[in-house]
Amino acid sequence: MPAIEPNNIDLESMEAITAAIANELKGLAWLFCNVLKPSLEQTLTNPDDINQIKKQISLLKSILCGYTVKEKAIADIIKAVAKKEAADLGISPFDVCKCLECKK
């Protein structure tokens, strides 16, 4: 028996969460390709200037670190949704956790 009786509202909310995450990822990809990448390219006006190169690398590192943190948060949400759906189907979330190789 599921931990919580599933209903259409639960399923719809899980679908809404995953759709929102997918939309957010599309937005982040667009932002990187259309705003951040061109901005980074403009920071380097002289390829021989080591300080400009260092600044560009530093900016890129900051952006990628931010994206990494966001990706981890999204992965945690997806794991939580999988566990919730498993519980609704009567499958132990701990079994799902073993499949996902997580410790939470």
19-28 per-position pLDDT tens digit? 888 888 888 8
In a domain, 1, yes or no: no
Does residue 69 lie in a domain region? yes
Number of compact structural domains in the chain: 1
In this structure, the number of other CB atoms found within 10 A of the CB of residue 83 comes to 21
Residue 20 in domain: yes
| Percent of the residues in the chain that have a pLDDT greater than 70, as a whole number | 82
pLDDT over 70 at 100, yes or no: no
The domain of 13 spans 8-100
Mean per-residue pLDDT, 74-84: 83
User: Where are any strands of DSSP class E within the chain?
Assistant: none
pTM of the predicted model as reported, rounded to 2 decimal places: 0.57
Residue 71 lies in a domain: yes
| Dihedrals phi, psi of 66, to nearest 5 degrees | -60, -45
- Could you read off the pLDDT of 13-46 as tens digits, one per residue? 777 888 888 888 888 888 888 888 888 778 778 8
Query: Going by C-beta distance under 8 Å and a sequence separation of 6 or more, which residues neighbour residue 41?
Result: none
What is the identity of the amino acid at 100?
Answer: L
For residue 32, give the DSSP letter. I
Query: For position 99, what pLDDT does the model report?
Result: 61
